[in-house]
Structure 1
Amino acid sequence: MTATDTTPVDIPDADDERRVDDWRGRFDEQRDDLPIDESLPRRREARALLLSLLRPYRWVVAFLAVVVVVENAARLSVPLLVKRGIDRGIPPIVDGGSAHTLLTIVAALCVVVVIQAISRVYFLHRSGRIGQKVLLELRRRVFRHFQRLDIAFHDRYTSGRVVSRSTNDVEAIQDMLETGFDSLITAVLTLVGTAILLITLDVRLGLMCLAAFPILVVLVWWFRTESAKTYRKVRESAALVIVQFVETMTGIKAVQAYRREPRNQQIFEDIADRYRADNERTFKLLAIFMPGVKLVGNITTGVVLLYGGYRVLHGQMTIGTLAAFLLYLRMFFEPMQEISQFFNTFQSASSALEKLAGVLAERPGIKDPAHPVKLTSVRGEVAFRDVHFAYVPGRPVLPDLNLTVPAGQTVALVGTTGAGKTTIAKLIARFYDPTSGSVTLDGIDLRDIAQSELRRHVVMVTQENFMFDGTVADNIRFGRPDATDAEMRAAAEAVGADRFIEALPDGYHTDVAKRGGRLSAGQRQLVAFARAFLADPAVLILDEATSSLDIPSERMVQRALETVLNDRTALVIAHRLSTVEVADRVLVLEHGRIVEDGPPSELIHRDDGRYAALHRAWIDSLA
């Protein structure tokens, strides 16, 4: 297919099907990896997380439990009052007597209903506030923890999974806090209370009703066991849908550029179909459980009506007692539906809690020291001492690196892709720690310096030049929010960004739009330079930082760099060797080793030198 071929992509062929099957297999592995395993320790972590969130409100929760008991006691007293009204209030009126007894019972019934309503309103109001505070604390913890976790974690933990943890899983816990516990407590109290009252009203009829209880226990046990497995799969499938959707939309430019839409559509439909199938299983469970409970309840009600009616006709039971019995019987079976709904909510929430607890249990690979060294004045000398580093065990990127960069020196790192240039930059910024050896700043091991302190003095500008929502000024101030307007404008002028910024509709107050979409790639890069220069670090790392600039912009930045990098330690990583002109020293790397080291003016004249060869190849590419 030629570069100009615009033939639409057809439905994937057999080879594509094989790739899709491979992709499904990887996602099957992720299905096992996405949820935290169901081991007892992980469940204990989930329970510990929930208890830690509720602990500040334990006394309020205890009081709310009392309120629920009062509410349910009031609700359970209604059938008793109905019984008394029928048996003791109505007969005097029929006999031509006073209605005082009936009116008293009705007044008591009104008081009970008001107590129930007030208790309910108070419970919903207070529990709602507590639930929202708990969710706020959970969101804070998750967001704070995700920010603290190291770059290696984020490299392997996809953005879609991060979104799923902070939205889908938190919402599942919200559902449980809003309705789950209330439904469970009410259901338990209703079951126990009605069972006692049924026996109290009439022992024989009560035992006949409770004969159905073992059947209900079997139904509930079966539903709980099956729903535990099914709802965990539902949560996993939901997470996979989010992962695939977010990843596709994040890379939509590449998807459309490579006409990947049909294949991505098939992959997404496969995941969505699994999600549908998992949800169908939950409906099948409900289709058996809820009608089963209703069937048992209706049969029991019919038996009670027949037997109770027989006893009423023979004077063995009053009509009021039978009426109360039927009302309590209805109350007895209603909680079963609430319990089933609670299981739905609880299974989703417990699965979400396990996953969130698993994330919060992750420990950053990059840790602050117990007793960090305080940095007073930083000169900026960087040194690597016998550094060995590998992203994958057994495949070293830096096998044995020894390097010293004196304070104030500008060093350019050049070499082929995969030579280890960016890895050196990441080690200096302490995005990773060396497998062995040490990286030092002014003779102090970076592992002995607090990360917040280190990153005040070491700033890295990458080729991604990420822009955050807000104005141009907000993005320049990103590393120093307290900088004055004058300082912010001076940083922009230092890198030559002031000209295009002032030409924008609102100047420095222009909204950059999502990810800086209102700015060109070169303009975003200049803003990123201004952001780094305003931070005023002792060590500045430029990782392919001029890759997005056109020739005029690059020349402008090079002129700015000569001023800004003065008296500052700098590492410049670039494939475009024009950027190297500002360097005092050039390091040529191959397979993680330094093969040439010297001033660019000297290295460029070595006939058999690696840097000279790279420079000639670069000149030829421009031609």
Structure 2
Amino acid sequence: MQNFGNGLKEAFQYKWLLGLSIICSICVASLWSANIGAFFPILEVTLNGQSLQEWSADKITKSEAAITQYDNELNEITQKLQAAENAKQSENDLNQIRWDQSRLDSLKSAEIDSLSYHRKLQPYIKAYCPKSAFSTIGMFVVLLMLSTALKHLFLMSNMMLISYVSNEVTRNIRAKVFNHALELDRGTFASHGSAGILAHITHMSEMMGQGIIGFYSGVVREPLKIMSCLVAACFISWRLLLVCVIVTPVIVLMISSIIRSVRRVAKQLVTESTGMHHVILESLNCIQTVQSYCMEETEKKRFQASTKNMMQVSMRVTFYNELAKPVIEFFGLSMVSIAMLAGSYLVLEQETHLWGIQLLDRPMSISAMLVFFCLLIGASDPIRKISGLFGVVGNGIVAADALHALLDKKSKVLNPAQPKSLPSPHREIVFKNIHFAYHAEEYVVRDVNLRIPYGEKVGIIGPNGGGKSTLTNLLCRFYDPQIGAVKIDDLDVREVALHDLRGRIALVTQQTELFNESISYNITYGTDNATQEQIEESARKAFAHEFITSLPRGYQTQVGQNGQMLSGGQRQRIALARAFLKNPEIMILDEATSQIDLPSEELILQAIREHTQNCTVLFVTHRLSVLSIVDSVMEVQHGSVTYRPVMPQERSQAA
């Protein structure tokens, strides 16, 4: 609940809009009860066949007569009490007389208040109300219609304001999650996966936004409507109202139990939603593998299974949400039933007491009783609507917990509090006593000690899984070693700002990553203010210019999601062009030419040798051809690293 509360607090940055929405809610609630109360004069006029002027005058006359009658009765009671005291009657008889005296005092006081009220009201009735009974009813019907139209105007304004605030909060939450995901280290990111983070950004953020709408609209507006009806009912008889809500504690306990169940099931719904996103992204991102291995039916079954699980949990959520509605309606029916039984008795018998308990100051009229019933029904309707919000707000609470659990995950790779500046250019790259494991298992690389001078071209070779890419990941600070340090000159890379460190490195991997934008956008990604001449020059170095210009839109050609509109070799050439354009101090080529034909690879290697004279280049490769241009070899095997110059026979074989 605390995390959802933080989301509600975040909405307070739009406090003026929230304030306006609350004012609209108050207006809706006031007009809701006022519309119900408007039936009182309509009923009085209809049942008595009088205009309001006649009704007001009749009330004043009856109140004056009643007060006179109560005075006479009180005088008789006073004399009777004195006579009883003189006759030394029993205490019970005296108490009965005193109780009758107190009851008459109460009735007289209520009648005096009624007389005062009607005398104050009479001038306004004479001035503004029609003089015929039918015209009076017509006036109140028109007022009722205008009031209803005004109520819906305020209601629409309330929903628009709340929706705007909620959408802004949802947008901010999505931005926070997205920004946080971009700053996570690779290990923490992998623990959630792209699908998990996507589910947080889309589904869970939406659930939280709907919860905020439900809270600020229904949970604020509907209780105000309930309060307005109950306050109006209090003016008729607060004691009778108190009797009617006697079942409230039992209903509150039942609703609390249902809310806990809703939250528990909503957590399961979040888990199933994340699982469904995993299935969708895996199947669609690996569509080539799915189709080539004829696994369409398997993936369809996986998707059906995930959606079936989600549907089952959704049905449980629906069950608990719907379970709240009959409980709430039973509560409303109980209130009205108690009011009908007690009120009918008091009206029919013209009593003010029930079972010796005073419920009314003066006998209730039929019109007042009917309006009292209507107010209770009016209060039960928003109570019913609140029951429908339990699931929405409950889902919002669970979604907020899930979102903040992700936001509370700290990256294991952090910027230093006081970053130091790297020299430009650097003198050397140093791996000092490096031990690193991805998990709590055996070290992937251990006791690595080596120095790479600036401008050196190093080939990193070895079997798969030996730790070749791990060393380049440590240099880029995608991970930090458990033991030892990676240094550039005398600075531990953990003392350097990530933007400063990675801004000097260009990385090209075997799994080329392109954006669904133009070729020009992908080449300039990470390099600001590049001219068209510079873009084309870098493309020529990567031997990509020829195939780019052969495309209908040239450099403005859209490459599709992750470059799916291009071949693997073309994607790698664009990635190489991106690296050339960046003109880095350190270039890391991790199987960067694996999908390029051998003649083209020889030309690209020649371009790398010519255009990286002032650049340290690390080649992660299985191809011997790379050894023709490197100065030294880093051989990685079973976590151990041997750093040596290129053997003459290796260079000759590569050539």
Distance in 2, Cα, partners of 1:45 & 1:344: 17
Distance in 2, Cα, partners of 1:497 & 1:600: 32
Task: Check if 1:463 corresponds to 2:499.
Answer: no
After TM superposition, give the deviation of residue 154 of structure 1 in Å: 1.7
Secondary structure, counterpart of 2:384 in structure 1? helix
Quickly say closer, same or farther: Cα 1:405–1:331, change in 2 above 3 A.
same
124-133 vs 396-405, which deviates more? 124-133
Distance in 2, Cα, partners of 1:515 & 1:199: 67
On the 8 A contact 2:450/2:643 being kept in 1, the answer is: no
Within a 5 Å distance, the mapping from 1:134-149 to structure 2 comes to 134-149=169-184
Cross-structure match for 2:2: 44
Distance in 2, Cα, partners of 1:222 & 1:392: 42
Within a 5 Å distance, the mapping from 1:210-229 to structure 2 comes to 210-229=245-264
- Give the counterpart of 2:446 among 379, 399, 404: 399
Task: Check if 1:594 corresponds to 2:641.
Answer: yes
Distance in 2, Cα, partners of 1:378 & 1:156: 36
- Structure 2 residue runs without a partner (length 5+): 56-130, 351-362
After TM superposition, give the deviation of residue 312 of structure 1 in Å: 4.6
- Give the counterpart of 1:79 among 36, 42, 50: 36
Letter in 2 for 1:595: T
Letter in 1 for 2:29: N
On the 8 A contact 1:184/1:338 being kept in 2, the answer is: no
Quickly say closer, same or farther: Cα 1:396–1:239, change in 2 above 3 A.
same
Tell me how large the CA RMSD over aligned residues is. 2.7
After TM superposition, give the deviation of residue 202 of structure 1 in Å: 3.1
Distance in 1, Cα, partners of 2:373 & 2:610: 90
Distance in 2, Cα, partners of 1:330 & 1:600: 94
Secondary structure, counterpart of 1:157 in structure 2? helix
Within a 5 Å distance, the mapping from 1:86-125 to structure 2 comes to 86-87=43-44, 91-93=49-51, 97-99=131-133, 105=140, 109=144, 112-113=147-148, 115-125=150-160
107-116 vs 284-293, which deviates more? 107-116
Distance in 1, Cα, partners of 2:323 & 2:424: 72
Letter in 2 for 1:138: I
Q: TM-score, normalised by structure 2?
A: 0.80
1:175-216 per-residue CA deviation (whole Å, 9 max, x = no partner) reads: 123333211112222333333333432356434432343443
Letter in 2 for 1:47: G
Within a 5 Å distance, the mapping from 1:468-479 to structure 2 comes to 468-479=515-526
After TM superposition, give the deviation of residue 304 of structure 1 in Å: 4.1
Task: Check if 1:448 corresponds to 2:475.
Answer: no
After TM superposition, give the deviation of residue 465 of structure 1 in Å: 0.9
Within a 5 Å distance, the mapping from 1:405-554 to structure 2 comes to 405-554=452-601
Distance in 1, Cα, partners of 2:5 & 2:266: 18
Q: TM-score, normalised by structure 1?
A: 0.84
Distance in 2, Cα, partners of 1:259 & 1:107: 70
Cross-structure match for 2:320: 285
Cross-structure match for 1:24: none
Letter in 2 for 1:127: I
Quickly say closer, same or farther: Cα 1:309–1:47, change in 2 above 3 A.
closer
Task: Check if 1:200 corresponds to 2:201.
Answer: no
1:227-265 per-residue CA deviation (whole Å, 9 max, x = no partner) reads: 121222222222222222222222232233344445444
Quickly say closer, same or farther: Cα 1:517–1:267, change in 2 above 3 A.
closer
Secondary structure, counterpart of 2:580 in structure 1? helix
500-509 vs 239-248, which deviates more? 239-248
Distance in 2, Cα, partners of 1:269 & 1:591: 42
After TM superposition, give the deviation of residue 110 of structure 1 in Å: 5.7
After TM superposition, give the deviation of residue 331 of structure 1 in Å: 1.8
Identity %: 25
Task: Check if 1:240 corresponds to 2:275.
Answer: yes
On the 8 A contact 2:431/2:450 being kept in 1, the answer is: yes
After TM superposition, give the deviation of residue 105 of structure 1 in Å: 4.9
On the 8 A contact 1:380/1:539 being kept in 2, the answer is: no
Distance in 1, Cα, partners of 2:331 & 2:29: 24
Within a 5 Å distance, the mapping from 1:22-421 to structure 2 comes to 43-51=1-9, 53-87=10-44, 91-93=49-51, 97-99=131-133, 105=140, 109=144, 112-113=147-148, 115-203=150-238, 205-298=240-333, 300-301=335-336, 304-305=339-340, 308-309=343-344, 311-313=346-348, 316-375=363-422, 377-379=424-426, 381-421=428-468
On the 8 A contact 1:495/1:560 being kept in 2, the answer is: yes
Bigger-Rg structure (1/2) = 2
Letter in 2 for 1:81: A
On the 8 A contact 1:429/1:459 being kept in 2, the answer is: no
After TM superposition, give the deviation of residue 569 of structure 1 in Å: 0.5
Letter in 1 for 2:437: A
- Structure 1 residue runs without a partner (length 5+): 1-42, 606-611
After TM superposition, give the deviation of residue 365 of structure 1 in Å: 1.0
Distance in 1, Cα, partners of 2:5 & 2:238: 41
On the 8 A contact 1:235/1:352 being kept in 2, the answer is: yes
71-80 vs 521-530, which deviates more? 71-80
